[in-house]
Structures are given as C-alpha cells and as structure tokens.
Amino acid sequence: MPILEVKKLTLRFGGLTAVNNLSFDMDENSIVSLIGPNGAGKTSAFNCLTGFYKGSEGDILFQGQSIFRQKPHKITKLGMARTFQNLRLFKDMTVLENVMSGMHSRTSAGVLGAVLRLPSQRQEEKKIRQVSEECLDFVGILDKQDRLARNLAYGDQRRVEWARALATHPQLLLLDEPAAGLNHDEKDQLVDLIRCIQKDLGITVLLIEHDMGLVMKVSEKIVVIDYGQKIAEGTAEEVKNNPKVIEAYLGKEDEE
Amino acid sequence: MVYSVGFKDRVLETINGKKTRAFFLSLLIIIVVLLPLGVNNYVEEVMTNTFFYIILALGLNIVIGYAGLVDLGYAAFFAVGAYTTGILMRYGLNFWLTIPIAVIFCVIAGIIIGGPTLRLRSDYLAIVTLGFGEITRITARNLKITGGASGLVGIQRPTIFGHKLYQITDFYYTFFILVILAIIVSLRIYHSRLGRAWQYIREDEDAAEAMGIDPVKTKLYAYMIGAAFGGVAGAFFAVKMTAISPETFAFTQSAMILLAVILGGMGKIPGAILGAVFLVFFPEIFREIGQMRMLLFGILLVIIMVFRPQGLWPERKS
C-alpha cells in the first residue's frame, strides 16, 4: 500500500484553479520530488497535503486514512512533518527549544503534571530533551543547541528546521524547497542528509524543489506539474526526456 | 570610556550572579516576613493590597505575557471567584471548600469566553473580552443571588486550625503565602511543555501548528489557568473585605491589572510583581498631594511606556 495517495486533488481560489485534478502515489520509504516551473502550483499542492490550505475537491490518503481538509496539527500528529520554504523558526528561543517543539504531539504532560512536578512529567521532560538532542546530533549542530535561533548562520537555521521536523517522529517528511539559499557544499550535504533520512531513519521524503541538479540526483520518482496539472511522472531519465516537460520549462519551438 | 563600560558589566554580572540573586531574594523574603512586627496597620493594609494585585497580575501575565492574548476583562474572573465564595458561604459552606468550586466556576467562565473567541485576531479579542467583563459586572448587578447593586455583605471570616483569620496581619501572611504559591505555579508551568507551547504560538502560530500543536486548545489553557488565578484571588478577597459589590469589578479594575503586567514587562514574573507594587504604592506614597497624584501618576506612566516599552524589568541578555 502506498504511504501517500493523492486522488484528483483540486484547489480553487475563486476563479483561479491552482491545482487541477492532481493524482500521484508515493511508495513507502521512497524519495519523490514534485517539480514544475514557477507558479505551476507546487506550493499550493504542498499546502493542501499539510493542511494549511483546504482543498476544493478530491482526496488525500495518508497510510490509507483520509487527511483531506484536516487541520495541520492533526496531520502532523498522524506522522507527516513539513519544513517551510522561508524559514519559520521560533527566532527568540534557543535551538534546543526549537527542536523540542517537535516532541509536543508525542508527549502528553498537562497542567497538573507541571505544577506538581510529577515523576511522569519529569521523565517526559528528560525524554523530550534527549530526543531533541539526538535530532540535533543527526543534522550535525548539537554543539549549537544553546544559541538563539536568530543568531545562527542561514545554513544552520535550515538544519534547525529539519531537526525540528524530525523530532515529530514522522513517517513522511515534506520538504518545501530545502535547497533554497544554500551554497554548493551545503547542497551536497543536503543530498547526503536526505539519503540518511531515508536509509537510516526509514522515513519517506517528498521534495518540492527548483534545483534540478539536486532533484535529479536524489529522487526515485519525479512528478512534474504545470498550470496545476500533472504533465509527467517517472524516473529522472524518463522525465528529462519527456517532450512535455521540456516544453513546460523551455517553451515550444515555433512551428513554421 | 572603556573603563566605565567594563565596570558596568562587572556590576551587572555581580547583580545577576546566582549567589547574589539568592541572597537578595532571601533578604527580601525575610524583610517581608518580619515587616508586620515593626509597622502599623496602614502599612500592612497597603502591603496586603499589593500582594493581592501581584496574584492578579501573575494570573493575567499567563494570558498576556505567556500566551500573548489580549484580555481587557480580567476582573470578570476575579468577580466570579469572589461571588462564588460569597454566595456559597451564605449557604453555610466552609470557606476552604468554596475555593475549589470558585476555581472550577472560573475555569468554566474561561472556557465560555475563550472557546468561541480564540479563533479571532487579537484586536477583536480585546473587544470581546472587554464586553465579557462588562457583562459579568452587569449580571452581578441585576441578579438577586448576587445581591444586586449593593452586592453581598456580611461574608464570614474563615478559620484555619481553629484560628480565625481576622486581623490585618492574618491576611497579610495569607496573601503572602498565596503570592509565593502563584510564583511557583507560574514558574513551573512556564518551564513545562505547555509553557513552551505558548511561546511557540506567540512566536509563530503557523510553525507551531506544523509542529503538531493545537493553537486553540493551547490558548484555551492559558485562559483557564489565568481564570483560576483570578478565582483564588477573588475568593480570598471576598473573605478579607467581608463585602463585595459589582462596582469593585468595573473596567478600571481590569485596566489596573493589565497596567501592572504591561508596566512591569509582559511575560516576566518579577516584572508583574514590580508593576503591581508600583501601581499600589504610588498613589499611597503621594496621598498628601490629593487629586494631583492621579495626574502625576498618569504622566509618569506615559513617560515610562515611551522610554521603556518593554517594561520596567530588564530583559535577560543572551
């Protein structure tokens, strides 16, 4: 059974159809990329999957369960985490505190536990800290855990976002343009990291990306959309040679 | 001026050092504990009043400072607490038993006001809470059970271990203990999963929601806990005053508590305390100059807010 099934997803804003009848599947533990020219509807589709936009029609099944028009925090709790295209860190909190936010939906201590410092609450706090440190270690910035998020270099801020998403214990991780703003070396490290997330943690990854080099290198399957519609689907080789894709990116040759 | 900068840093470091802080804190507690031995009833009365406002300011600090929600009707919660205790004691219930009931009623009031309104943006929330405060006061004014416009009178004084809380010194210590409890509860909640969730939402609500935090539920908790603080303070207020009337809970009361929190510095416990102390002390100290003092008070508040919009208590540097 696929981990994610998008079925005839349509999103309209008034008269504009941002996503039109989009369908695709994702196999468990695979890396899939959603690509398309600027304004093709990638981010709109992404926001429907994560619950930030409410789709107009269609259905989205995550592990066989419908998450169509669900609230974002419920989708996260079901095991789907996301990162943001423009960094959305909690800037005035420490790096560790940022990552600890990911554990929120995996823990349950309430007011009484906190006020009375019950043993279960203290145990849970320890666990939250420990998992968050592991996530920071995984992305390689454990040494910066006590710094304020706003004081970190851009590349490291990206890493905080990944660590934070990983701390939610996702089965499916959605990355919204993770390479944006990274330099060449950092992009190479990103490729390694995405592969580690897949192999070592067994997490399925969906990428939305502009950087074709990165997409071609890392994806097992690529879904190409244009004007909100799927125009191609397949491996990197297949997609690269698809005339429709070339047309979407480079334009049509004049027929004279 | 390198020397003076270095000197200032050293002084700040000494003041902020853990040991010095513990020393000043214990000194402060000792002074407060021993104070009733050396002063007259008037000072004790002012101090007790200060303690009372500190509890309310700490409660509102949870709503405004921690969760970042505007509340212009906080006195309503304090009214629910005071009236619940006043009415139940009239029916012969023991004072100590009315406290949990007052808290429950306040939490329910918190849910009633928060549930439908927390989806609103903060400016609308301000108006709704303002309305809620007025509704509560006018309801109290018009119901028979709350004693109408004249309110409740002759509320019994409570006893503890056979000792009747009667003199101002009794209430001085009672409210002081409540202040300490309020500080401990605030601190513990702030450094917990819920306290962090409030911060995440305040910093970036979308990102917090993407991390699996339910914003509405988390904000509702802030209202409920803030309301509970108001309820406890209200219950003790009722037995201290032995009489309560609707006008005690007018908008100026909510504004006063709000002022204490903003003046001291939102989200900071010492700030809320400082704000409350300032608000109670100032009019008392300048009692001599009569009505002029409120004018002076207003001008001073404007000056403080212009030059220290972050509040009186200093920001912790990172």
pLDDT for B190-215, tens place per residue? 999 999 999 999 999 999 999 999 99
The residue-averaged pLDDT of B158-174 equals: 85
Q: Name residues 221-250 of chain B within 8 A of A (Cβ).
A: 221, 225
Label residue A104 by pLDDT band (50, 70, 90). very high
Interval B28-51 mean pLDDT:
89
Lowest mean pLDDT, pick from A8-17, B119-128, B131-140: B119-128
Tell me whether residues B192 and A125 touch, CB distance under 8 A: yes
Chain A hits for B210, CB-CB cut-off 8 Å, are 50, 52, 72-73, 76, 81-82, 84, 88
Q: Is B253 exposed, middle or buried (0-12, 13-18, 19+ CB in 10 A)?
A: buried
Q: Does A69 touch chain B (CB under 8 A)?
A: no
pLDDT at B4 over 60: no
What pLDDT score does B12 carry?
66
Residue range A99-108: average pLDDT? 93
pTM of the model: 0.88
- CATH 3.40.50.300 residue ranges of chain A are 1-79+170-256
Interface check for A33 against chain B (CB to CB < 8 A): the answer is: no
Give me B225's structure tokens: 């806990």
Check residue A70 and report its DSSP letter.
-
- A117 part of contact set with chain B, CB < 8 Å: yes
Task: Provide ipTM, 2 decimals.
Answer: 0.91
B24 φ, ψ to 5°? -65, -35
Residues of B in contact with A121 (CB under 8 A): 192
A104: nearest CB among B206, B212, B221: B212
Compute the nearest-CA separation of A98 from chain B (Å): 8
Which of the pair, A102 or B311, is modelled with greater confidence? Answer: A102
Smallest Cβ distance to B214: which of A73, A92, A114? A73
Superfamily name and number for A1-79+170-256: P-loop containing nucleotide triphosphate hydrolases (3.40.50.300)
β-bridge pairing A31-35 and A221-226 = parallel
For residue B151, the Cα-to-chain-centroid distance in whole angstroms is: 23
Share of chain A above pLDDT 90, in %: 73
User: Is the CB of residue A88 less than 8 Å away from at least one CB of chain B?
Assistant: yes
Q: What is the pLDDT of residue B304?
A: 83
- Asked whether the beta carbons of A188 and A206 are under 8 A apart, the reply is no
Compute the distance between CA of residue B291 and CA of residue B308 in angstroms, rounded to an integer.
26
Listed in sequence order, the residues at least 6 apart from B35 whose beta carbon sits closer than 8 Å to its beta carbon are B43, B44, B47
**Confidence at B2, pLDDT banded by 50, 70, 90:** very low
Tell whether A72 lies on the interface with B, counting CB pairs under 8 A.
yes
CA Rg value for chain A: 19
Residue of A76, A92, A148 lying closest to B211 (CB–CB): A76
pLDDT score of A147 more than 60 = yes
User: What's the pLDDT band for A69 if we cut at 50, 70, 90?
Assistant: very high
Question: 3-state DSSP: chain B helix, strand, coil percent, rounded to 5?
Answer: 75, 0, 20
pLDDT digits (tens, 9 = 90+) for B217-260: 999 999 999 999 999 999 999 999 988 999 888 888 898 899 89
Q: Which two tokens stand for residue B115?
A: 């549930």
Contacts of B160 (CB under 8 A, 6+ apart): B96
Using pLDDT thresholds of 50, 70 and 90, give the confidence band for residue B36. Answer: confident
Q: Specify the pLDDT at position B318.
A: 46
Judge: B210–A110 Cβ closer than 8 Å, yes or no: no
Average pLDDT of every residue of chain A:
91
Contacting residues of B for A124, CB less than 8 Å apart:
193
Residues in chain B closer than 8 A to A88 (CB atoms): 204, 206-207, 210
For range A224-238, the mean pLDDT: 91
The helix (H) or strand (E) run that includes residue B229 is helix B215-241
